Amino acid sequence: MTDLPITGVLFVCLGNICRSPLAEGVFLHHARARGVHTEFDIDSCGTAHWHIGSPPDERSVAVAAAHGVTLPSVGRQLNPVTDFARFDWIIPMDVANAEDILAEGAQPERVRLLLSFHPEMRALQREDQQVPDPYYGGQRGFRNVYEMIDAACAAMLDEFLED
Ligand code: 4NP
């Protein structure tokens, strides 16, 4: 048991079937491995409504499974009212997601691009800290995205646990 407060983290992409479900599952995986998952309220969503109720894309499921990671996400759309109240951190995958979230009224200091936590990418310009949308590509794109998300989530957990 711990008396630490629970930190709410919402991962956001466009469709909530490729990138943000991966980030959610990978973050949860790292948190469980370190025995700290109960310190977090973790979820994912999309800015678009297209895939409400859908499981993650089978290519995300496959790359996650190859690393022993399961993806609990069920597609849903960002709800500015409830999500901005529930989550301490809103973590978009790309700049378009971030702009959409800010346009919905999120507090800018609670919105951070996922790759701003990445050990080798944290010093880059905002435009270069984007997880590319793998939807229209093949499995290789999903492997590339997985590596970025994995490194960023591990570093993000380090940073949160230091605070
Ligand atoms: P995601 O990828 O934002 O990483 O989930 C996409 C998923 C679906 C679509 C676009 C991007 N779509 O056009 O349906």
pLDDT interval class at 163 (50, 70, 90): confident
Report yes or no on whether pTM surpasses 0.85.
Answer: yes
User: In the chain, what are the domains?
Assistant: 7-162 (3.40.50.2300)
Q: Is the pLDDT of residue 3 over 70?
A: no
Question: Given 13, 18, 45, 153, which residue is catalytic?
Answer: 13
Which distant-in-sequence residues (6+ apart) come within 8 Å of 145 by Cβ? 18, 19, 22, 63, 131, 132, 134
Average pLDDT for the chain: 96
Q: What is the pLDDT of residues 67-90, one digit of tens each?
A: 999 999 999 999 999 999 999 999
Q: What is the pLDDT of residues 18-72, one digit of tens each?
A: 999 999 999 999 999 999 999 999 999 999 999 999 999 999 999 999 999 999 9
Question: Given 43, 57, 94, 133, which residue is catalytic?
Answer: 133
Whether 85 contacts 104, CB under 8 Å: no
Q: Is the pLDDT of residue 2 over 70?
A: no
